[in-house]
Amino acid sequence: MAWTESSTIQRSLLEWAEEAGWEHVPGDELPRDKHDVVIETWAREALLALNPELADDPESVELVLHELNQAVLDAHNGLVSANERLTVMLRGDHSFTTIDGRHVPRRLIDFKDLNNNRFTVADEVTVNGAAKPRRFDVVYYVNGFPLVVAETKTPVKHQVSWVNAAKDLHDVYEEEYPNFFATNVFNVATEGLEFRMAPIRAIPDPDSEIWAPWGSTEDDPKTVTGPARVERAARLLLRPETILPILKDLVMFRHARDASEVDIKFLPRYPQFEAALVIHAKVLAGRPGGLIWHHQGSGKTELMAFAAARLLRDDAVTRKFGSAPTVIVIADRKDLVRQTAEMFETAGMPRMSVPRNRRELHGLLRSGEPGVVITTVHKFAEAGHLNNRSNIVVLVDEAHRSQEGKFGDAWRAAVPNAKFFGATGTAVKDKDRSTFKLFGDPGDPDFVMSRYTPEQSIADGFTKPVIVEGRSVGFNLDKEALDEAFDELATEEGLDEEEKVFLSGKASHIETILSNPERVAAVCADIVDHFLIYVAPLGQKAQVVAYNQRLVIAYTRAIEAELERRAAVMPDGRLREVGVVMHVADSKETPKDHKKYLLTPEQEEALKRRFKKVDDPMSFIVVTAKWMTGFNAPIEGVLYLDKPAKDTNLFQTITRPNRPWKNPVTGQRKDFGRVVDYIGLAKAIGKAVAGPKAKDDEEDELNVTDASKLAGKFVADLTRLLHLFGGIDTSDSSFESLAEAHERIPEGGAQRTEFIETYVALQTVWEFLDPHPMLRPFKGQYFWLAKVYESIRPKDVSKTFLWARLGAKTTDLIHGHMSDVGVKSNLSKTVTLDAAGLALVKKIAEQLKLSERQTPESKADDVYQEVLDSIEARLRRRLADTEGPAYQSLAERIEKLRAKAIENVADSLAFLEEALKIAQDVVAADRAAEQGGALDQLADPKRGALTQIVAENTPPGLHKIVPDIASRIDSIVVEVAYAGWSASDAGDKRVRRELRSVLKEYGLPIKGELFDRTYEYVRENY
């Protein structure tokens, strides 16, 4: 029997639904006409059961059903607005008209006792009425209202995925039958390998964070994957205990503020759902509060909105405390209050207040007014006691920062009986402070009520990994001359010893080094160079963190000068701009240069909006304290860090670029956030990202990747992939070569899975590092693997993925600016010679299947000697049997390699890279000898392939000069070809002309098969 969607994931969804309490009814047995959305008989039964007063008022019952159906039909005029209206109705918050003209709320679903509802899951539900009948795979009905639609695809076809299911829902079903989605809570798309959920009108995208996965914060993302994750997600999400709380309290609508926006519906992610329900449960249980420790950038502000909505909408909270609750949301900065208030307001939060000053806040809290109050921690200063109520719930954002000490004491004294919940991405635990003890409930494991780790957030796609690139900004110091000059100064000024010590101490501050004009110029030149090569082509923006305000201004001017010197313009020709955000006091003491950057809150908000727009030339923001934390701009792709920082501040700073982002113009998505470290904070960054341990024995969880470690990973993954295709010439792009490659990775086999998983990882590293010099020796092999992958990848999604990874970057990277780099990457910054070298040695040993005889205590020179001896021993064994040109060539390469001087880390790694290439060639030569053949050409695979093409197409008698012809072709093409030549008419004509010139020089035909094959090979490989 063939695997189909109905026999696999669709059947499983039905089985899991029945186990969760849903009654399965086949779609064609539902008591409905095929054009009906609501199953009216069931809706009527629920309406009468939940509203007994309607038993003797059949006319009012008909009016309710009529108004419901009219709202459903109105979806043709706007699905989101109709969905919002019906959400209010289904919650029981809408007042329906009675036959005598009154307006009375009606209950359509029992949210308190779920047993009072009818839960039905139906498969193959057909809907008629539009141009073509449509059939929904699985529909989840509550009291006759279709609340969830699940579209499934088969898990065994490479060309389909959950994206295809999502496209069907968004592009076809919601367009043709919007009325069927008028009562929808969310949609589900799955092929059994991935599971995603989303609100109506969510655009499908392979990397979408809106089409979100579901799961549990208790699960390990490394072990709960694939079909196991799908089953876990379905069992957790597609059950009444999850769907109905989302419908009742956690569905929100963000309304358009102007004509450029549209209304959208948004839903909680699973960590937000879990935490909001736990907050609600703790309040009802009378617990003191709790600590929410969720990764930076994973949506803590939205979590507060969901929690507040659930508390304010629940009658049980009001009954328990005798009155409706007051929810206080506390931030530690005015700009965060504005951001939070804007989010709550657009989400339609009821009864929201933002006090303008302390007096307003104190009066509001003394009055006991229910609703949401959003304020800064500073407004509690000198508040004293304000209110004894126990139904006050305080939600504290960025709970690790200024929530201790006098400010923390102030707001706890103001509302002493409140419940205090702290949300943070960077919990603090040291000898003076502990976020765990300040907010943690002793009843929670390790004082944490909800933990969502960086690993979970990255695996779910809600945040991106952070790549740290080390930079070396060195300088020479003539200490003797400096001491002599200082002594002369002390003598001239009559300084005593104590004064000399004081003065030298002040001058030895790090600012002295950082403010050196030459250093400022070199760092800013490197910043601009890096930005233009890696960041600007992606449409992303940059943040620069400088040591102090004086250096903020110096960096701003230097970057502006570099941008102007390089004519760094936007696609529309406008010069890129640099903005400044810093605290500037409006006083007489403020330097004139600083006053230029004095911004009102409105001006700062306008600058922030400019920075977030992909088509705005505001490309850099330079800061020293503001916007280092609490600033959310997904378009930020890189943070250039030239200021010492540590612990929570450092973590907050380096996670600025970790937000997912999609370029609205190119469709390209962010794969990584980048931090370029000019200050040498690698170890501090690792410590900051790991954070304090909730348990003493908990392992550090790092999510910072060093660029040089990625280079080592690239070599390792490449070697693994090449093992799958041992014996195949990777310089051969013929159909025969491709066919042979396919035989090694048969569809459905473990080798196919291994190849896909490893290649995707390899491709990600390539795209991040390119144009790293380490990639050059492996370019041909990588492109060959890329073509193999392209030939087997899922076709429907390939264009999206291909463009997301290669589109704008491949076409727009400005390689020519590399010559202007003033500050070099420093591989030794975060990875030692031994660590990087031994990693490559291990790969060489794996390639040669040799034991690794070196020890961690081995000196560098010993390691290199081991490498050479291992390869040379292998060669000697073969040379004893044959003096073939392949082995002789390898021996010569060993001698050249031995003559290389090993002076620093970069040279050492280059040495080992070359050794790995030689080791791979040794393995190829061994294999050829064992099969009874010999390899004539190993030194240059391009020329070897050209030799074969020329040899097969030259007249007898010319074979002796075939290598010369191939060498000549190679040298000419290398000279005249350039990046992108094949896409240029002029470049293509020049290569063709020079190619014909070489053939003519050797008396060979300039037309026909020889020319065609040679040209095609050149086009593929140069």
Q: How many other C-beta atoms lie within 10 A of the C-beta of residue 861?
A: 9
Identify the pLDDT of residue 700.
40
Identify which of 203, 165, 207 has the alpha carbon closest to the alpha carbon of residue 9: 165
Going by DSSP bridges, is the β-strand pair 252-254/326-331 parallel, antiparallel, or unpaired? unpaired
Question: 921 burial class (0-12, 13-18, 19+ CB within 10 angstroms)?
Answer: buried
Predicted confidence (pLDDT) per residue in 399-450, tens digit: 545 455 566 678 788 889 999 998 887 666 655 556 777 787 888 888 889 9
What phi and psi, each to the nearest 5 degrees, are found at residue 351?
Answer: 50, 65
Sign, CA dihedral 749-750-752-757, equals positive
What pLDDT shows up at residue 287? 92
The C-alpha atoms of residue 922 and residue 879 are separated, in whole angstroms, by 12
| Residue 545, H or E segment | strand 541-545
Nearest to 752 by CA among 780, 721, 787: 721
The residue type of 505 is G
Distance separating alpha carbons of residues 951 and 959, to the nearest angstrom: 6
Contact 619, 541 (CB under 8 A): yes
CA–CA dist 807, 792 (Å, integer): 20
Interatomic CA distance for residues 189 and 198, integer angstroms: 9
**Entry field: residues in the chain:** 1022
Classify strands 119-127 and 134-142 as parallel, antiparallel or unpaired: antiparallel
Q: What are the residue ranges in the chain where pLDDT is below 70?
A: 1-7, 155-159, 297, 332-350, 398-408, 426-434, 474-512, 588, 627-631, 646-654, 681-710, 764, 767-773, 793-914, 926-968, 970-987, 1001-1003, 1020-1022
pTM beyond 0.85: the answer is no
| pLDDT given for residue 843 in this prediction | 67
What pLDDT does residue 885 have?
A: 55
pLDDT of residue 396: 85
> What is the dihedral sign for C-alpha 852, 855, 859, 862?
negative
Q: Give the pLDDT score at 1004.
A: 74
Amino acid at site 1012: D
Question: How confident is the model at residue 148, as a pLDDT?
Answer: 98
The Cα diameter of the chain in Å comes to 108
Residue 264 host element (H or E)? strand 264-266
Element containing residue 948 per DSSP (H, E): helix 941-952
Side chain identity at residue 643, one-letter code: K
Give the pLDDT score at 136: 97
CA angle, residues 68, 69, 70, in degrees to nearest 5: 90
Q: CA 485 to CA 455: how far, in whole Å?
A: 54
Provide DSSP, 362-415: HHHHHHT--EEEEEEGGGGTT-------S-EEEEESSTTSTTSHHHHHHHHHHS
